[in-house]
Amino acid sequence: MLKHFHFLAISAMICSAVSCNQIEPLQATSEQVEETQVTTRAYDDKSPTIAVYVETNDVNPLNAGDYKMSDGSTFIDIVELFASNIHKDGNGDPTLYLNDKLTNVLENGGAATYVAPLQEKGIKVLLTVLGDWQGIGVANMTDAQSTKFATILAYAVNKYGLDGIGFDDEYASYSGSLVSNSYAQIIKKLHALMPSDKLITVFDWGNTDQIDAEASACIDYAYHGYFGSYNTSSDITGMTTAKWSPLSLNLGNYNSTSSVQSYASRALENGYSILMCFNLRTRNDRDPLSVFQAISNGVYDGDEISCSNGNRARTAGSVASGYTITYEMAQ
């Protein structure tokens, strides 16, 4: 009975969800080492904002904090931990799964080791949510399931001291019919459950046409999914230039620095406020410094980007079973 009452209370709160600010819509066109002193700055005090995904399976997230502007502040503003997974319990309801490599990045003191140090430098740290061949994802949850999943995500943000959630609808292996408003409902409910300073991002790939204008207004940033190109068109209803990244780069691939600089400059001229890079590698694997410098040349008047390390080894170890967060845990 108590659980039923709690579920109803949460549902009532979400039904009276806060409204989100709207602005002009988008117009489509086509190891640890000793560190030097770092200047801490407030998030979002430069534009465009730089978001970078880190593959936690094989890269230490702390590497993202090693890239600096000439004043010592960090080049990267948002780190997306890639990725947690959507699983389901025996009743078919959603759960949040941290795989064997991600578990210790957040659990067992991991958040204090890998999240807090980035935040202390002024970087926002988000947890990306991804499908995992389970037949369930953000696009096929019932209303009750979307409430449960939003509750789980808000719980994870609070538990690990994160700055928000990033969505990426891939690899869900959907079975049966999709639920037309599922994605939008999850976003709106999550927005209502989190403090106002938390962020929601979306990788514009699978089923983002489910995201209506109300849900779009709850998104802080969205990134297009065609790496190495300049794209101003989004499937998300009501997306705006202030929230959209027209440039998405895969740092694990070769990137033409001249093209990167040109695209970045165009993004600045056209009023875009976010640029995204995926798959930060160690410098020994594929050094991103020249790409970051090309971005700076395009948007920060050529401010010199440096790196104090960038080769930190992955030290989180693994937990064979991973870690699962259920709705019951999140209540």
Residue-wise pLDDT for 288-297, tens only, equals: 999 999 999 9
Under the banding of pLDDT at 50, 70 and 90, the label for residue 7 is very low
Which class does domain 49-330 fall in?
A: alpha beta
pLDDT per residue as tens digits for the range 117-162: 999 999 999 999 999 999 999 999 999 999 999 999 999 999 999 9
Q: Cα Rg for the chain, rounded, in angstroms?
A: 19
- Domain extents for the chain? 49-330
170 annotated active-site: yes
Catalytic residue among 24, 34, 55, 170: 170
In this predicted structure, the answer to whether residue 31 has a pLDDT above a threshold of 60 is: no
Give the pLDDT confidence of 190-249 residue by residue, as tens digits: 999 999 999 999 999 999 999 999 999 999 999 999 999 999 999 999 999 999 999 999
pLDDT of the residue at 30: 42
| Backbone dihedral angles phi then psi of residue 168, each to the nearest 5 degrees | -145, 105
Q: What tokens appear for 127 in the block?
A: 């947890």
* Average pLDDT value for residue range 316-322: 98
- Residue 26 has a pLDDT of 52
